Amino acid sequence: MNGQVPFSLRGRNPDVLTCIANLSNDEVFTSPEFANRMLDTLAEAWADDNNGANLWADKTVKFLDPFTKSGVFLREITSRLTKGLVDEIPNLEDRVDHILTKQVFGIGITYLTSLLARRSVYCSKFANGKHSVAKSCTTEQGNIWFERIEHAWVDGRCKYCGASKMTFDRGEVLETHAYAFIHTDDIRTRVTELFGGNMQFDVIIGNPPYQMTGGGGGTNDSPIYHLFVRQATRLEPRFLSMVIPSRWMAGGRGLGEFRAEFLGDRRVRTLVDYENAKDVFPTVGIGGGICYFLWDRDNPGVCECVYHRNGVTVGPHPRALDEFDVFVRDKRAVDILHKVLAAGERPFEELVSGDTPFGLATNFSDYARDVVPKGGQVRLYANVGTTRVRGAMARETINKNSHLIDVWKLFLPVAGSGRERERSGVDLVLGPPIPGEPGSVCTQTYLVAGPLSSKVEAESIELYLRTRLARFLVSLRKPAQHVFRGMYRWVPVQPWDRTWTDANLYKKYGITKDEIAFIESMIRPMG
């Protein structure tokens, strides 16, 4: 082939797929280095399940990347097979042709990325072109398929992915982002349509799209990566490996059902978690971190979990993923949580209101700022931008939780720290709480803890929530910036007749010196 196969030439020049992965853009491209970490994990699991057999020396194994972008997974798989099959198929041209026509398959997510993937794998944007290293392809697409798919609109949203018709019902010039792999009720039939025959893949691997802009019908993004995970498991490959955001572990819009499914699936045998997504994707901001997993169809059991944070690797540790309703990422935190929960105390969550406690939106403006309330008015606590403000408003406007108006309570900021942990390695977790006197209310900027019997109780709770331990317990259920009622579930209620400090809390729950050091390495003091 006279050097047409580039797999042995790597290292002479910067790898173009590394350069693409380092670009800052909307698509999250996987670097070759990280793709190979996932492939190493896959190969080890294959050997464990097959008496030490070398995955890359098996000419019958079929691989699918159902959401290929740069083609990096397919390229690296091809490179490994090219080396591993040298004894089985000695002729290089025949070997590469066999791999690219019989073993390696992909589905492009856009027209442009399908061309990029073919260029990475076939060394030509046309699989049957004169420069292609696959000599027996009969079509331009080869085994990397892409065709424009339309959304299925029902009441203004796509029934498959939730995309907004207003945003994505557009002309043929623009991409629809209606991904073929999830826009079907019958994935097996779809795969047959794409690749022909009774196609059964042994390995499905890749990095799916993460979200749809305005997928909930509003301005916020809606996650879709879980749809790809579910669809891939329906194909029942021997192994499935994907890199996805870690936010599913404790939150994420519409991910509650998926989280329960995933945590209860004993076929998830490896979970590698990165607190800071920039450890994997240096130029892309992904709040809550990133992870990849390995799903083993034929060997269910406990999951080996590895956690990376701030340059420290914890694990692997065998974990039962469904020990709790959310996944606690760091095994060291689990040991502390067990001590706290063993006391069997009432959860602080029971004292906390739901969202918008008094029915006043964040942008509520019908009040007089910096004015002391007088007859028929209540004090309002609100935020203007990031500035906390107080004012006076009409009592008659309040039509929700009126029983909380004339009692002591605590206002709990909904906006906790954002991505502070990613930047500095430590986290504040919560914004400072505010004691709320009788005759006071708040906007949606806050939740409310109450009713409380006295100012003493309000001040006791305020100091309690400023402790590192209380905020640490919140952090275990907090995947991103905002703090909601359920995130206080593991914070125990205390007697509110005293001043709480970390020292007396550590003593009460038997927290060791090493555990204290761990907590204080994660949670910074609140001034």
Distances 17 to 10, 13, 21, 28, 30 between C-alpha atoms, Å: 11, 11, 6, 12, 8
The residues, any chain, with a CB within 8 Å of residue 419's CB and separated by 6 or more, are 285, 287, 481
pLDDT at 23: 44
Number of helices (H), then strands (E), in the chain: 15, 20
Over the range 497-525, which residues count as b (16 or more CB within 10 Å of their CB) and which as e? eeebebeebbeebebeeebbebbeebbbe
pLDDT at 220: 57
Asked if residue 134 lies in contact with residue 93, where contact means CB atoms within 8 angstroms, the answer is no
d(CA 157, CA 255): 18
Asked if residue 258 lies in contact with residue 223, where contact means CB atoms within 8 angstroms, the answer is no
How many C-beta atoms lie closer than 10 Å to residue 354's C-beta? 12
- SS3 per-residue string spanning 314-331: EEEEEECCCCCCCCCCCH
pLDDT at 7: 47
State pTM to two decimals.
0.86
φ, ψ for residue 142 (rounded to 5)? 60, -130
Angle at 342 between CA 338 and CA 343, to 5 degrees: 135
The strand pairing partners of 157, in sequence order, are 154, 164
Q: Which stretches in the chain have pLDDT values below 50?
A: 1-12, 19-25, 215-219
Q: What is the largest CA-CA distance in the chain?
A: 93
Q: Tell me which H or E stretch contains 111.
A: helix 111-122
Distances 380 to 393, 395, 406, 409, 447 between C-alpha atoms, Å: 7, 10, 13, 13, 13
Closest CA to 223 of 177, 254, 178, 251: 254
Residues in the chain: 527
Domain boundaries, the chain: 6-238, 348-522
pLDDT at 217: 39
Long-range contacts of 300-304 (CB under 8 A, 24+ apart): 300/266, 300/267, 300/269, 301/266, 301/269, 302/266, 302/269, 303/266, 303/268, 303/269, 303/270, 303/271, 304/269, 304/270, 304/271
pLDDT at 227: 95
d(CA 409, CA 413): 13
pLDDT at 215: 41
pLDDT at 15: 56
Runs of H (alpha helix) within 361-493: 420-424, 455-465, 468-475
Distances 467 to 25, 449, 472, 508 between C-alpha atoms, Å: 39, 17, 9, 14
pLDDT at 212: 81
The strand pairing partners of 151, in sequence order, are none
